[in-house]
A and B are shown apart, each in its own frame.
Chain A
Protein backbone atom coordinates (compact mmCIF):
# COMPACT_ATOMS: atom_id res chain seq x y z
CA UNK A 1 0.00 0.00 0.00
CA UNK A 2 1.61 3.33 -0.97
CA UNK A 3 2.42 5.61 1.95
CA UNK A 4 0.57 8.87 1.98
CA UNK A 5 2.77 11.93 1.69
CA UNK A 6 2.90 14.03 4.83
CA UNK A 7 1.44 17.49 4.79
CA UNK A 8 4.07 20.15 5.47
CA UNK A 9 2.70 22.42 8.19
CA UNK A 10 4.49 25.61 9.16
CA UNK A 11 3.88 27.29 12.51
CA UNK A 12 4.61 30.88 13.46
CA UNK A 13 4.48 31.87 17.11
CA UNK A 14 2.60 29.56 19.45
CA UNK A 15 -0.63 28.39 17.83
CA UNK A 16 -3.46 27.29 20.16
CA UNK A 17 -3.20 23.87 21.78
CA UNK A 18 -6.13 22.61 19.69
CA UNK A 19 -4.09 23.29 16.54
CA UNK A 20 -0.97 21.62 17.91
CA UNK A 21 -2.99 18.54 18.93
CA UNK A 22 -4.19 18.33 15.33
CA UNK A 23 -0.69 18.69 13.92
CA UNK A 24 0.85 16.17 16.34
CA UNK A 25 -0.40 13.30 14.18
CA UNK A 26 1.55 11.25 11.63
CA UNK A 27 -0.10 13.11 8.76
CA UNK A 28 1.90 16.25 9.35
CA UNK A 29 5.55 17.25 9.28
CA UNK A 30 5.86 20.40 11.39
CA UNK A 31 8.27 23.24 10.61
CA UNK A 32 8.82 25.99 13.16
CA UNK A 33 9.16 28.88 10.74
CA UNK A 34 10.38 31.28 13.47
CA UNK A 35 13.65 29.37 13.68
CA UNK A 36 16.41 29.14 11.06
CA UNK A 37 15.78 25.91 9.13
CA UNK A 38 19.10 24.85 7.71
CA UNK A 39 21.08 27.13 5.46
CA UNK A 40 18.30 29.31 4.14
CA UNK A 41 19.49 32.78 3.17
CA UNK A 42 17.54 35.40 5.13
CA UNK A 43 18.08 37.87 2.28
CA UNK A 44 15.53 35.93 0.19
CA UNK A 45 12.95 37.69 2.38
CA UNK A 46 14.19 41.15 1.43
CA UNK A 47 11.97 41.64 -1.66
CA UNK A 48 8.93 41.13 0.59
CA UNK A 49 9.88 42.61 3.97
CA UNK A 50 12.10 45.61 4.73
CA UNK A 51 15.61 44.74 5.83
CA UNK A 52 15.05 46.90 8.90
CA UNK A 53 12.40 44.58 10.34
CA UNK A 54 12.18 41.89 12.97
CA UNK A 55 14.80 39.25 12.13
CA UNK A 56 12.46 36.46 13.23
CA UNK A 57 9.70 37.47 10.81
CA UNK A 58 12.24 37.89 8.04
CA UNK A 59 13.24 34.33 8.87
CA UNK A 60 9.58 33.25 8.64
CA UNK A 61 9.35 34.62 5.09
CA UNK A 62 12.69 33.11 4.02
CA UNK A 63 11.77 29.71 5.49
CA UNK A 64 8.33 29.77 3.88
CA UNK A 65 9.74 30.56 0.46
CA UNK A 66 12.23 27.74 0.74
CA UNK A 67 10.08 25.05 2.41
CA UNK A 68 6.84 25.89 0.57
CA UNK A 69 4.55 24.47 3.28
CA UNK A 70 1.11 23.20 2.41
CA UNK A 71 -0.39 25.07 5.33
CA UNK A 72 0.88 27.73 7.74
CA UNK A 73 -0.65 28.42 11.14
CA UNK A 74 0.43 31.91 12.09
CA UNK A 75 -0.58 33.37 15.41
CA UNK A 76 -1.68 36.96 14.91
CA UNK A 77 -3.13 37.59 18.34
CA UNK A 78 -1.58 39.60 21.14
CA UNK A 79 0.41 36.51 22.08
CA UNK A 80 2.58 37.22 19.01
CA UNK A 81 2.83 40.72 17.54
CA UNK A 82 1.38 43.22 15.05
CA UNK A 83 4.20 42.50 12.65
CA UNK A 84 2.93 38.91 12.34
CA UNK A 85 -0.45 40.28 11.19
CA UNK A 86 1.22 41.97 8.23
CA UNK A 87 3.53 39.03 7.61
CA UNK A 88 0.45 36.79 7.30
CA UNK A 89 -0.93 39.10 4.60
CA UNK A 90 2.36 38.96 2.71
CA UNK A 91 2.53 35.16 2.99
CA UNK A 92 -0.95 34.92 1.49
CA UNK A 93 0.19 36.93 -1.51
CA UNK A 94 3.54 35.31 -2.15
CA UNK A 95 2.48 31.69 -1.48
CA UNK A 96 -0.78 31.26 -3.40
CA UNK A 97 -0.65 27.46 -3.10
CA UNK A 98 -0.28 27.54 0.67
CA UNK A 99 -3.21 27.85 3.02
CA UNK A 100 -2.56 30.56 5.60
CA UNK A 101 -4.50 30.10 8.82
CA UNK A 102 -4.48 33.05 11.22
CA UNK A 103 -4.90 31.98 14.82
CA UNK A 104 -5.37 33.87 18.08
CA UNK A 105 -4.00 31.89 20.95
CA UNK A 106 -6.02 32.77 24.04
CA UNK A 107 -5.16 29.55 25.89
CA UNK A 108 -4.99 30.14 29.61
CA UNK A 109 -4.26 26.68 31.01
CA UNK A 110 -0.67 26.76 32.20
CA UNK A 111 1.58 23.79 31.48
CA UNK A 112 4.26 25.09 33.86
CA UNK A 113 7.92 26.07 33.42
CA UNK A 114 10.11 23.12 34.33
CA UNK A 115 12.58 23.78 31.51
CA UNK A 116 12.92 27.51 32.21
CA UNK A 117 14.07 26.71 35.74
CA UNK A 118 16.12 23.58 35.11
CA UNK A 119 19.89 23.25 35.42
CA UNK A 120 20.88 22.83 31.81
CA UNK A 121 23.06 24.43 29.17
CA UNK A 122 21.08 27.52 28.21
CA UNK A 123 21.36 26.88 24.49
CA UNK A 124 19.99 23.33 24.93
CA UNK A 125 17.34 24.61 27.29
CA UNK A 126 16.13 27.20 24.79
CA UNK A 127 16.07 24.62 22.01
CA UNK A 128 14.04 22.27 24.21
CA UNK A 129 11.52 25.02 24.95
CA UNK A 130 11.03 25.98 21.31
CA UNK A 131 10.67 22.28 20.44
CA UNK A 132 8.10 21.88 23.21
CA UNK A 133 5.65 24.01 21.22
CA UNK A 134 5.16 21.03 18.91
CA UNK A 135 4.32 18.67 21.74
CA UNK A 136 0.83 18.99 23.24
CA UNK A 137 1.55 16.57 26.09
CA UNK A 138 2.28 17.63 29.71
CA UNK A 139 5.93 18.10 30.70
CA UNK A 140 7.98 15.69 32.72
CA UNK A 141 8.78 16.83 36.20
CA UNK A 142 12.27 18.39 36.17
CA UNK A 143 13.64 19.79 39.44
CA UNK A 144 14.30 23.52 39.52
CA UNK A 145 17.86 24.69 40.19
CA UNK A 146 18.94 27.63 42.31
CA UNK A 147 19.23 30.51 39.80
CA UNK A 148 22.44 32.54 39.51
CA UNK A 149 21.53 34.51 36.38
CA UNK A 150 18.47 35.37 34.32
CA UNK A 151 17.64 35.58 30.66
CA UNK A 152 14.43 37.49 29.91
CA UNK A 153 12.92 37.67 26.46
CA UNK A 154 12.01 35.76 23.34
CA UNK A 155 14.10 32.93 21.94
CA UNK A 156 16.76 34.84 20.00
CA UNK A 157 17.19 34.40 16.27
CA UNK A 158 20.85 33.63 16.95
CA UNK A 159 21.17 31.14 19.81
CA UNK A 160 24.95 31.66 19.95
CA UNK A 161 24.46 34.61 22.27
CA UNK A 162 23.23 32.14 24.92
CA UNK A 163 26.52 30.29 25.24
CA UNK A 164 27.99 32.69 27.79
CA UNK A 165 25.35 32.08 30.43
CA UNK A 166 25.82 29.55 33.24
CA UNK A 167 23.73 26.37 33.34
CA UNK A 168 21.94 27.79 36.37
CA UNK A 169 20.33 30.57 34.33
CA UNK A 170 16.58 30.83 34.69
CA UNK A 171 14.54 31.95 31.69
CA UNK A 172 11.86 34.63 31.95
CA UNK A 173 9.73 36.73 29.63
CA UNK A 174 7.87 35.50 26.57
CA UNK A 175 9.93 32.31 26.41
CA UNK A 176 8.40 31.38 29.77
CA UNK A 177 4.95 32.09 28.31
CA UNK A 178 5.90 29.89 25.38
CA UNK A 179 6.82 26.92 27.56
CA UNK A 180 3.67 27.48 29.62
CA UNK A 181 1.66 27.42 26.34
CA UNK A 182 0.04 30.73 27.27
CA UNK A 183 1.74 33.20 24.92
CA UNK A 184 -0.76 35.96 25.72
CA UNK A 185 0.01 36.16 29.43
CA UNK A 186 1.46 39.59 30.12
CA UNK A 187 1.72 39.07 33.87
CA UNK A 188 3.91 36.01 33.33
CA UNK A 189 5.89 37.80 30.64
CA UNK A 190 6.66 40.72 32.96
CA UNK A 191 7.82 38.54 35.82
CA UNK A 192 11.55 38.61 36.70
CA UNK A 193 13.77 37.82 39.65
CA UNK A 194 15.28 41.02 41.12
CA UNK A 195 17.92 39.08 43.07
CA UNK A 196 19.89 37.75 40.12
CA UNK A 197 21.73 39.58 37.32
CA UNK A 198 19.42 39.44 34.33
CA UNK A 199 19.84 40.17 30.63
CA UNK A 200 16.65 41.64 29.15
CA UNK A 201 16.75 40.67 25.51
CA UNK A 202 14.62 41.62 22.53
CA UNK A 203 15.11 41.30 18.82
CA UNK A 204 16.06 44.62 17.23
CA UNK A 205 13.06 46.36 15.63
CA UNK A 206 10.63 44.32 17.76
CA UNK A 207 7.98 46.10 19.84
CA UNK A 208 9.18 44.09 22.84
CA UNK A 209 12.32 46.26 22.98
CA UNK A 210 10.16 48.80 24.84
CA UNK A 211 9.13 46.26 27.49
CA UNK A 212 12.68 44.93 27.76
CA UNK A 213 14.10 48.39 28.36
CA UNK A 214 11.32 49.28 30.80
CA UNK A 215 11.87 46.16 32.89
CA UNK A 216 15.64 46.68 32.79
CA UNK A 217 15.13 50.08 34.42
CA UNK A 218 13.16 48.40 37.21
CA UNK A 219 15.68 45.62 37.81
CA UNK A 220 18.61 46.37 40.17
CA UNK A 221 21.06 44.25 38.13
CA UNK A 222 19.57 44.26 34.66
CA UNK A 223 21.16 44.76 31.26
CA UNK A 224 19.12 45.63 28.18
CA UNK A 225 20.29 43.91 25.03
CA UNK A 226 18.98 43.91 21.52
CA UNK A 227 20.33 42.03 18.56
CA UNK A 228 19.28 41.72 14.94
CA UNK A 229 19.92 38.69 12.74
CA UNK A 230 23.24 37.52 14.15
CA UNK A 231 25.06 38.29 17.38
CA UNK A 232 28.14 40.38 16.63
CA UNK A 233 31.22 40.75 18.80
CA UNK A 234 29.84 43.75 20.66
CA UNK A 235 26.67 41.87 21.67
CA UNK A 236 28.67 38.88 22.85
CA UNK A 237 31.16 41.08 24.70
CA UNK A 238 28.34 42.87 26.50
CA UNK A 239 26.88 39.61 27.77
CA UNK A 240 30.26 38.19 28.72
CA UNK A 241 31.34 41.37 30.52
CA UNK A 242 28.01 41.79 32.29
CA UNK A 243 28.09 38.27 33.65
CA UNK A 244 31.78 38.46 34.61
CA UNK A 245 31.36 41.82 36.32
CA UNK A 246 28.29 40.54 38.13
CA UNK A 247 30.41 37.82 39.68
CA UNK A 248 29.53 34.90 37.39
Chain B
Protein backbone atom coordinates (compact mmCIF):
# COMPACT_ATOMS: atom_id res chain seq x y z
CA UNK B 1 0.00 0.00 0.00
CA UNK B 2 1.09 3.52 -0.66
CA UNK B 3 1.00 5.81 2.36
CA UNK B 4 1.60 9.53 2.25
CA UNK B 5 1.89 12.54 4.50
CA UNK B 6 1.02 15.48 2.26
CA UNK B 7 2.59 18.49 3.90
CA UNK B 8 2.56 22.10 2.77
CA UNK B 9 6.18 22.17 1.61
CA UNK B 10 7.13 18.49 1.48
CA UNK B 11 5.37 15.19 0.94
CA UNK B 12 6.52 12.01 2.57
CA UNK B 13 5.65 8.74 0.82
CA UNK B 14 6.07 5.14 1.89
CA UNK B 15 5.36 1.97 -0.07
CA UNK B 16 4.65 -0.69 2.54
CA UNK B 17 5.38 -3.42 -0.01
CA UNK B 18 8.90 -2.17 -0.56
CA UNK B 19 11.99 -2.32 1.63
CA UNK B 20 12.92 1.18 0.57
CA UNK B 21 12.98 4.07 3.03
CA UNK B 22 10.26 6.72 2.82
CA UNK B 23 10.67 9.27 0.03
CA UNK B 24 10.69 13.01 0.59
CA UNK B 25 9.54 15.17 -2.30
CA UNK B 26 8.71 18.83 -2.65
CA UNK B 27 4.95 19.39 -2.63
CA UNK B 28 5.10 21.71 -5.60
CA UNK B 29 6.45 18.84 -7.74
CA UNK B 30 3.48 16.54 -7.08
CA UNK B 31 1.53 15.43 -10.12
CA UNK B 32 -1.82 16.89 -9.07
CA UNK B 33 -3.86 15.02 -11.64
CA UNK B 34 -2.47 11.51 -11.38
CA UNK B 35 -1.22 11.10 -7.84
CA UNK B 36 -3.27 8.57 -5.87
CA UNK B 37 -2.37 6.87 -2.61
CA UNK B 38 -4.18 4.37 -0.40
CA UNK B 39 -3.97 6.15 2.92
CA UNK B 40 -2.95 9.71 3.64
CA UNK B 41 -2.68 12.42 6.21
CA UNK B 42 -1.67 16.06 6.00
CA UNK B 43 -3.74 19.03 5.03
CA UNK B 44 -3.50 18.28 1.32
CA UNK B 45 -4.11 14.57 1.82
CA UNK B 46 -7.84 14.24 1.16
CA UNK B 47 -7.35 15.26 -2.43
CA UNK B 48 -5.08 12.33 -3.26
CA UNK B 49 -6.17 9.50 -0.99
CA UNK B 50 -8.71 6.71 -0.90
CA UNK B 51 -8.67 6.91 2.91
CA UNK B 52 -7.68 9.78 5.16
CA UNK B 53 -6.50 10.00 8.77
CA UNK B 54 -6.39 13.37 10.44
CA UNK B 55 -2.97 14.71 11.38
CA UNK B 56 -3.40 14.65 15.15
CA UNK B 57 -4.49 11.03 15.07
CA UNK B 58 -1.56 10.12 12.81
CA UNK B 59 0.86 12.01 15.07
CA UNK B 60 -0.45 10.32 18.21
CA UNK B 61 -0.31 6.84 16.70
CA UNK B 62 3.16 7.51 15.33
CA UNK B 63 4.28 8.63 18.77
CA UNK B 64 2.82 5.54 20.41
CA UNK B 65 4.72 3.35 17.91
CA UNK B 66 8.07 5.06 18.35
CA UNK B 67 8.14 6.11 22.00
CA UNK B 68 8.39 3.46 24.68
CA UNK B 69 7.45 5.70 27.61
CA UNK B 70 3.85 5.78 28.86
CA UNK B 71 4.01 9.52 29.48
CA UNK B 72 5.31 11.86 26.80
CA UNK B 73 4.71 15.04 24.85
CA UNK B 74 5.32 14.90 21.12
CA UNK B 75 5.42 18.18 19.19
CA UNK B 76 5.28 18.31 15.42
CA UNK B 77 6.56 21.47 13.77
CA UNK B 78 5.73 21.61 10.11
CA UNK B 79 5.80 24.25 7.44
CA UNK B 80 2.33 25.52 8.04
CA UNK B 81 1.28 24.66 11.57
CA UNK B 82 2.32 23.10 14.87
CA UNK B 83 0.57 20.36 16.76
CA UNK B 84 1.23 18.24 19.82
CA UNK B 85 -0.12 15.31 21.77
CA UNK B 86 0.47 14.48 25.42
CA UNK B 87 0.04 11.00 26.83
CA UNK B 88 -0.04 10.11 30.52
CA UNK B 89 -0.22 6.49 31.69
CA UNK B 90 -0.57 5.44 28.08
CA UNK B 91 -3.75 7.46 27.60
CA UNK B 92 -4.32 10.63 25.64
CA UNK B 93 -4.31 13.58 28.02
CA UNK B 94 -4.00 16.68 25.89
CA UNK B 95 -3.52 17.81 22.33
CA UNK B 96 -3.41 20.97 20.32
CA UNK B 97 -3.25 22.07 16.73
CA UNK B 98 -2.38 25.62 16.00
CA UNK B 99 -3.00 26.52 12.40
CA UNK B 100 -3.52 30.21 13.02
CA UNK B 101 -1.18 31.70 15.65
CA UNK B 102 1.51 29.10 14.91
CA UNK B 103 1.13 29.73 11.24
CA UNK B 104 3.92 29.32 8.74
CA UNK B 105 6.68 28.71 11.28
CA UNK B 106 8.64 26.13 9.35
CA UNK B 107 7.96 27.79 6.03
CA UNK B 108 9.18 31.17 7.26
CA UNK B 109 12.35 29.72 8.79
CA UNK B 110 13.21 27.98 5.52
CA UNK B 111 12.43 31.13 3.58
CA UNK B 112 14.73 33.20 5.79
CA UNK B 113 17.56 30.69 5.49
CA UNK B 114 17.43 30.93 1.72
CA UNK B 115 16.84 34.68 1.55
CA UNK B 116 19.73 35.57 3.85
CA UNK B 117 21.89 32.67 2.63
CA UNK B 118 22.38 31.28 6.14
CA UNK B 119 23.51 27.89 7.43
CA UNK B 120 21.57 27.06 10.58
CA UNK B 121 23.97 24.24 11.47
CA UNK B 122 26.72 26.81 11.87
CA UNK B 123 24.92 29.43 13.96
CA UNK B 124 25.21 30.00 17.70
CA UNK B 125 22.08 29.86 19.81
CA UNK B 126 21.40 33.41 20.99
CA UNK B 127 20.99 34.30 24.65
CA UNK B 128 17.87 36.33 23.97
CA UNK B 129 14.98 36.01 21.56
CA UNK B 130 12.26 38.07 19.95
CA UNK B 131 8.82 37.84 21.49
CA UNK B 132 6.76 36.64 18.56
CA UNK B 133 3.50 34.85 18.01
CA UNK B 134 3.84 33.44 14.52
CA UNK B 135 6.13 33.26 11.56
CA UNK B 136 4.38 35.94 9.60
CA UNK B 137 3.93 38.51 12.38
CA UNK B 138 7.48 37.95 13.67
CA UNK B 139 9.21 39.01 10.47
CA UNK B 140 9.07 42.69 11.31
CA UNK B 141 11.30 42.10 14.34
CA UNK B 142 14.05 40.89 12.02
CA UNK B 143 13.77 43.92 9.77
CA UNK B 144 13.76 46.29 12.77
CA UNK B 145 16.83 44.61 14.29
CA UNK B 146 18.79 44.73 11.02
CA UNK B 147 17.92 48.41 10.57
CA UNK B 148 19.20 48.95 14.14
CA UNK B 149 22.57 47.51 13.21
CA UNK B 150 22.26 43.89 14.26
CA UNK B 151 23.65 41.32 11.83
CA UNK B 152 21.14 39.44 9.71
CA UNK B 153 22.32 36.13 11.19
CA UNK B 154 21.88 37.36 14.78
CA UNK B 155 18.43 38.74 14.04
CA UNK B 156 17.27 35.54 12.35
CA UNK B 157 18.70 33.46 15.22
CA UNK B 158 16.66 35.49 17.73
CA UNK B 159 13.61 35.02 15.55
CA UNK B 160 14.14 31.25 15.40
CA UNK B 161 14.63 31.08 19.15
CA UNK B 162 11.44 33.11 19.66
CA UNK B 163 9.56 30.65 17.49
CA UNK B 164 11.03 27.69 19.40
CA UNK B 165 9.97 29.18 22.75
CA UNK B 166 6.53 29.86 21.36
CA UNK B 167 6.18 26.24 20.23
CA UNK B 168 7.40 25.05 23.63
CA UNK B 169 4.77 27.18 25.40
CA UNK B 170 2.12 25.85 23.03
CA UNK B 171 3.02 22.28 24.06
CA UNK B 172 2.47 23.33 27.73
CA UNK B 173 6.19 23.42 28.69
CA UNK B 174 6.97 19.71 29.14
CA UNK B 175 10.10 18.62 31.04
CA UNK B 176 11.19 16.60 28.00
CA UNK B 177 10.04 16.99 24.44
CA UNK B 178 9.83 14.57 21.55
CA UNK B 179 10.01 16.50 18.32
CA UNK B 180 8.90 15.58 14.82
CA UNK B 181 8.71 17.35 11.48
CA UNK B 182 11.14 19.14 9.25
CA UNK B 183 12.48 21.37 12.03
CA UNK B 184 14.12 18.31 13.61
CA UNK B 185 16.86 18.92 11.03
CA UNK B 186 17.41 22.51 12.18
CA UNK B 187 20.00 22.53 15.00
CA UNK B 188 19.37 26.19 15.78
CA UNK B 189 15.67 25.50 16.37
CA UNK B 190 16.25 22.28 18.33
CA UNK B 191 18.98 23.90 20.45
CA UNK B 192 16.71 26.86 21.21
CA UNK B 193 14.11 24.68 22.92
CA UNK B 194 14.58 25.06 26.69
CA UNK B 195 14.35 21.37 27.65
CA UNK B 196 15.87 18.04 26.61
CA UNK B 197 14.71 17.26 23.06
CA UNK B 198 14.56 13.91 21.32
CA UNK B 199 14.19 14.34 17.58
CA UNK B 200 12.16 11.66 15.84
CA UNK B 201 12.52 13.05 12.34
CA UNK B 202 10.17 13.79 9.49
CA UNK B 203 8.38 10.47 9.16
CA UNK B 204 6.42 10.16 12.42
CA UNK B 205 3.07 10.73 10.70
CA UNK B 206 3.89 7.98 8.21
CA UNK B 207 4.58 5.73 11.18
CA UNK B 208 1.15 6.74 12.47
CA UNK B 209 -0.43 5.75 9.17
CA UNK B 210 1.24 2.34 9.38
CA UNK B 211 -0.13 1.93 12.90
CA UNK B 212 -3.58 2.92 11.61
CA UNK B 213 -3.37 0.18 8.98
CA UNK B 214 -3.02 -2.38 11.73
CA UNK B 215 -6.06 -1.00 13.54
CA UNK B 216 -8.48 -1.04 10.64
CA UNK B 217 -9.45 -2.82 7.44
CA UNK B 218 -8.32 -0.30 4.85
Q: Is the interface of A mostly helix, strand, loop or mixed?
A: helix
* Residue A48 lies at the interface, judged by CB distance under 8 Å to chain B: no
Inter-chain contact A245/B57, CB cutoff 8 Å: yes
For B64, give the chain A residue with the smallest CB separation. Answer: A245
* Residue A234 lies at the interface, judged by CB distance under 8 Å to chain B: yes
* Residue B98 lies at the interface, judged by CB distance under 8 Å to chain A: yes
CA of A237 to CA of B59 in the docked complex: distance in angstroms? 12
CA of A223 to CA of B91 in the docked complex: distance in angstroms? 12
Inter-chain contact A238/B99, CB cutoff 8 Å: no
Contacts of B55 in A (CB 8 A): 237
Question: Given A233-B99, A234-B81, A234-B97, does the pair A241, B57 have CB atoms closer than 8 Å?
Answer: yes
Inter-chain contact A234/B98, CB cutoff 8 Å: yes
Q: How large is the interface on A (under 10, 10 to 19, 20 to 34, 35 or more residues)?
A: 10 to 19
CB distance from B45 to the nearest CB of A (A): 12
Q: How large is the interface on B (under 10, 10 to 19, 20 to 34, 35 or more residues)?
A: 20 to 34
A–B pairs, 23, beta carbons within 8 Å: A221-B92, A223-B95, A233-B43, A233-B99, A234-B81, A234-B83, A234-B99, A234-B100, A237-B56, A238-B56, A238-B95, A238-B97, A240-B56, A240-B57, A241-B56, A241-B57, A241-B85, A241-B95, A242-B92, A242-B95, A244-B57, A245-B85, A246-B91
The residues in B between 57 and 97 inclusive whose CB is less than 8 angstroms from any CB of A are: 57, 60-61, 81, 83, 85, 91-97
CA of A233 to CA of B54 in the docked complex: distance in angstroms? 10
Cβ-neighbour of A238 out of B61, B96, B100 (below 8 A): B96
* Residue A194 lies at the interface, judged by CB distance under 8 Å to chain B: no
A-side residues, CB < 8 A to B, are: 220-221, 223-224, 232-234, 237-238, 240-242, 244-246
For B97, give the chain A residue with the smallest CB separation. Answer: A234
Given A223-B94, A242-B95; 18 other pairs, CB 8 A cutoff: A221-B91, A223-B95, A224-B94, A232-B99, A232-B100, A233-B99, A234-B81, A234-B83, A234-B97, A238-B56, A238-B96, A240-B57, A241-B54, A241-B85, A241-B95, A244-B57, A245-B57, A245-B61
CA of A223 to CA of B94 in the docked complex: distance in angstroms? 6
CA of A172 to CA of B200 in the docked complex: distance in angstroms? 39
CA of A233 to CA of B81 in the docked complex: distance in angstroms? 12
CA of A237 to CA of B53 in the docked complex: distance in angstroms? 10
Question: Given A233-B43, A234-B81, A234-B98, does the pair A246, B54 have CB atoms closer than 8 Å?
Answer: no
Contacts of A232 in B (CB 8 A): 99-100
Mark B194-218 against chain A: 1 for CB-CB distance below 8 A, else 0.
0000000000000000000000000
